[in-house]
Structure 1
Amino acid sequence: MRRIGFRGYMIIAVIIAIIAVGILYFFNINRVAPTATKKTSGVQITQSASGQYQTVIKNGRYLVSAARGITATAEPNNLDVKHFESNLLGLAKTHFKTSQYIFQEGQYLSSDKVTNLLDRKSSSNADGLNPENNGKTGDSRNPIYVQTLTEQDFMTKDGNGLKLAGMVIGVAMNTQDEYQKEKYGATYTQDISEADRIAYGKKIAPRIIQQVRKQSGVSEKTPIVIAMYANASSDSLAPGSFYAEATSNEGSNLETWSDIDNKSIVLPKESTDTSKLGSDENSGFSNFKNDIANFFPNIAGSTAVANFKNGTLSGMNVTVTTQFYSQTEIDSFTTYVGQAALKYLPNNVPIRIVVQTANETQAILIRNVNDKTFTTTILD
């Protein structure tokens, strides 16, 4: 038998140590913290902060909607994309409590179904929600009223699984329809009156409910909330808003429509805007804007979008555009912006401030409702 010398023992010891470390590393990176997720019938449910929904993970990935982001035409105002979805989730919380329901991205309406629904009605597409093309141009044409649909599902535990307990369908309606008289030709804009938009939305809402209930897994008695959103015009600096909602508890019947008093305005307000909404906020923001402009002259401009619910400020998003290139300038300016914001901007609502050049984001400052200071992220 061949004897193993001291050097051989050292090599074996090193190999054993490497294997042990590898085993420990494997188990550490694959171990799921007990507070991170909970398994339910092959899916995982995330834990959530207070006031937020638990969400569904399947096969280690967030369960996304196949129909998300589908639109009838090019989105007229990019501000509406995020605002529409985030505000729809806020509206959902008034119907489905975060402590009782689990949120799931829409899983029942397929991409093909949503595409057909957003198309014009025709001999080959009886499900189309938008009116038939009458072949006319100008104000006499049939516009595209319905721009996009978003489905949100709300689940409850059912033994070891989940079951659908309710749905929210967001419907974004156009206030303007952009079109071309000929391919690659000039783009024209057709305004849609508020009265026509509201009437058409109420007309097609039962058809939407009917189509949703036809999908496998959705019962005739699944509660479905439908919420109508008015897109902003293409040149607006503020996003649109939800304006009405109704609930269907059975079949395609809808209960009485309720108005939603949500509105977003741009600050500083135009001199021609004589409405009282946002007057106090406008005064405070003007002082904030002047303060930071006087301290740092290399500022191209500052604007804010103030969001109101039932006439009360619910949040503010501020954009400050600079001409800074030095990192020390960005650091100093961001610190000063946070101090000025605490002094002049409302202290009882969430505020998000983005400092940017024309080409890149330089810093983000966020303050939630109960925070005393801003959390600042400076991008190198």
Structure 2
Amino acid sequence: MNLKRIRTMGLVAVAAVALAACGNLKNSSFGSSSTSQTTTTGSKTTTTTGSTDSEFYQGVIKKGRYRTSKSRGVNVSQNDNVMNLKSFETGLLDVSKKVFSTSKYVYQEGQYINTSTVEKWLGRKSKSNPDGLNPKSNGKTGANTRNPIYLQQLEEQDYMIQSGSKLSLGGVTIGLGMNSVDYYTKVEYGATYETDISTTELTAQGKKMANTVLQRLRKKSALKSVPIVLALYKQSSNDSLVGGDMIAYVVSKNGSTTVNNWTALNWKNYVFPATSESKNSGANSNDESDFSSFKSHVQNFFPNLSGVTANAHYQDKSLKKLSVNITTKFYSETEIISFTQYLATAAKRYLPSGIPVEITVKSANGDIQSFLARTAKGSSYYTHVFSDQGDN
């Protein structure tokens, strides 16, 4: 099976760092540095990024560099919806916060599962790949008769405990991204076919794979007894306008090698306004109405817009985050500045309060022109206009 490393999220992370340097931007799971702490482990110096808010994790910097994941971004190459990548990672952070408090733990990118291992695990089980978590091919090509690829991606997040001058591993979160649709070809470079996978089936397969992953991790000396969180994520289809949903998690404590008591998660992502492909039956009608008012006023004020949409994230039927995307048809920097100023006023007036909100303004060719953000506790919006001349 062909696999590839998706680097899109790395670019997003770089952009987030750049934005944090421009102003008080805090609506990610990591706050910009207010204070950093340096610890020494042997002869190696480790620094934490510091945090501006107890809602966010501090990150780990080693020898002056951010400690990157050993396997991040390895993905079965069939899925083309990049929204799955972002919502998978942010969803894992939200699950982790239920177990690893941001006030006690420091976040570190996964260090215990390397790229080669993840590639093997994501492959089909075979004589040449006995470690494959996906089922063996049965040689059939019918949508309902073949053995589909269930596991699409796997992510590791490490959580460290700081004690005096030392950082030690306090726990690990492992996310399993499961396909709701498996895309395949019957011959190389041929037409693409689909196998639909029910939530019941992908959940059962995911729980089975999670126990196998847990048993393998417990064989590593560093992971023998630490708490390990296992989380299941339901991937959205390639044509979906939003990412998938976290559906369940479980915590393995005291070195256990099997887990059974899973906690179901009622987390959903919706797109505003609803489309024929995206039904919002689980979204709050008041939230949709608020966004509709915002969209209407924005389009009336600046008619040269290609589109105004939003991704809404719900947990237990309560709106937790709103990400608004606006595509423009104008290019004048003065127009962008005026439009951004108006957006800050309109968003404050019409969009729901008490949740993080992000607004990204892009040109028709995809260039980001401006960005606005507000934290759940904030009332005003941080704004930044991107200048071609670099003045801002």
TM-score bucket (shorter structure): 0.7 to 0.9
Q: 2:303 matched to 1:297?
A: yes
Q: Equivalent residue of 2:288, what SS?
A: helix
What are the Cα deviations for residues 117-152 of structure 1, in whole angstroms up to 9, with x where unaligned?
111001122211100011111221111100111111
1:251 to 252, 256, 276: 256
**Given that residues 304 and 319 in structure 1 are in contact (C-alpha distance below 8 angstroms), is that contact kept between their aligned partners in structure 2?**
yes
1:176 to 154, 176, 181: 181
Letter in 2 for 1:198: T
**Given that residues 161 and 167 in structure 2 are in contact (C-alpha distance below 8 angstroms), is that contact kept between their aligned partners in structure 1?**
yes
Q: Distance in 1 between matches of 2:47 and 2:328?
A: 44
Partner of 1:240: 244
- Relative contact order, CA 8 A, sep 6+: which one is greater? 2
Partner of 1:197: 202
Partner of 2:138: 134
Letter in 2 for 1:147: Q
> Does the C-alpha gap of structure 1 residues 371 and 274 become closer, same or farther in structure 2, counting only changes over 3 Å?
closer
Partner of 2:347: 341
1:283 to 272, 281, 289: 289
Partner of 1:363: 370
> Does the C-alpha gap of structure 1 residues 40 and 55 become closer, same or farther in structure 2, counting only changes over 3 Å?
farther
User: By how many angstroms is 1:215 displaced?
Assistant: 2.5
User: By how many angstroms is 1:328 displaced?
Assistant: 1.7
> Does the C-alpha gap of structure 1 residues 40 and 328 become closer, same or farther in structure 2, counting only changes over 3 Å?
same
Farther-moved stretch of structure 1 (72-81 vs 364-373): 72-81
Equivalences for 1:30-179 in 2 at 5 Å? 35-41=35-41, 42=44, 43-51=46-54, 52-139=56-143, 140-157=145-162, 160-179=165-184
What are the Cα deviations for residues 16-38 of structure 1, in whole angstroms up to 9, with x where unaligned?
xxxxxxxxxxxxxxxxx994331
Q: 2:378 matched to 1:374?
A: no
**Given that residues 118 and 129 in structure 1 are in contact (C-alpha distance below 8 angstroms), is that contact kept between their aligned partners in structure 2?**
yes
What are the Cα deviations for residues 329-350 of structure 1, in whole angstroms up to 9, with x where unaligned?
2121121122111111101111
TM, length-normalised to structure 2: 0.84
Q: Equivalent residue of 1:138, what SS?
A: coil
User: By how many angstroms is 1:251 displaced?
Assistant: 3.1
**Given that residues 149 and 170 in structure 1 are in contact (C-alpha distance below 8 angstroms), is that contact kept between their aligned partners in structure 2?**
yes
Partner of 2:390: none
**Given that residues 151 and 167 in structure 1 are in contact (C-alpha distance below 8 angstroms), is that contact kept between their aligned partners in structure 2?**
yes
Q: Distance in 1 between matches of 2:268 and 2:163?
A: 39
User: By how many angstroms is 1:270 displaced?
Assistant: 3.5
Identity over aligned residues, as a percent? 43
Q: Distance in 1 between matches of 2:167 and 2:156?
A: 17
1:332 to 331, 338, 360: 338
Letter in 2 for 1:208: V
Q: Equivalent residue of 1:182, what SS?
A: coil
TM, length-normalised to structure 1: 0.87
> Does the C-alpha gap of structure 1 residues 161 and 274 become closer, same or farther in structure 2, counting only changes over 3 Å?
closer
Letter in 2 for 1:113: T
**Given that residues 35 and 51 in structure 2 are in contact (C-alpha distance below 8 angstroms), is that contact kept between their aligned partners in structure 1?**
no
Which is higher, the Rg of structure 1 or of structure 2? 1
Q: 2:310 matched to 1:307?
A: no
1:323 to 326, 329, 335: 329
How much is the aligned-residue C-alpha RMSD, in angstroms? 1.8
User: By how many angstroms is 1:191 displaced?
Assistant: 1.2
Q: Distance in 2 between matches of 1:192 and 1:73?
A: 18
Q: Distance in 1 between matches of 2:137 and 2:34?
A: 56
What are the Cα deviations for residues 172-221 of structure 1, in whole angstroms up to 9, with x where unaligned?
101111111111112222211112111111121110101111234221x2
What are the Cα deviations for residues 18-67 of structure 1, in whole angstroms up to 9, with x where unaligned?
xxxxxxxxxxxxxxx99433123122233222222222211211111111
Letter in 1 for 2:209: I
Aligned residues: 347
Q: Equivalent residue of 1:116, what SS?
A: helix
Q: Distance in 2 between matches of 1:237 and 1:363?
A: 21
> Does the C-alpha gap of structure 1 residues 334 and 132 become closer, same or farther in structure 2, counting only changes over 3 Å?
same
Letter in 2 for 1:375: Y
Question: Which sections of structure 2, spanning at least 5 residues, go unmatched?
Answer: 1-32, 388-392
Letter in 2 for 1:55: G
What are the Cα deviations for residues 77-103 of structure 1, in whole angstroms up to 9, with x where unaligned?
101111111221121111011121221
> Does the C-alpha gap of structure 1 residues 379 and 159 become closer, same or farther in structure 2, counting only changes over 3 Å?
closer
User: By how many angstroms is 1:226 displaced?
Assistant: 0.2
2:269 to 264, 282, 285: 264
User: By how many angstroms is 1:255 displaced?
Assistant: 4.0
Q: Equivalent residue of 1:85, what SS?
A: helix
> Does the C-alpha gap of structure 1 residues 341 and 173 become closer, same or farther in structure 2, counting only changes over 3 Å?
same
**Given that residues 38 and 46 in structure 1 are in contact (C-alpha distance below 8 angstroms), is that contact kept between their aligned partners in structure 2?**
no
Q: Distance in 1 between matches of 2:328 and 2:343?
A: 12
User: By how many angstroms is 1:107 displaced?
Assistant: 0.7
User: By how many angstroms is 1:163 displaced?
Assistant: 2.2
**Given that residues 247 and 255 in structure 1 are in contact (C-alpha distance below 8 angstroms), is that contact kept between their aligned partners in structure 2?**
no
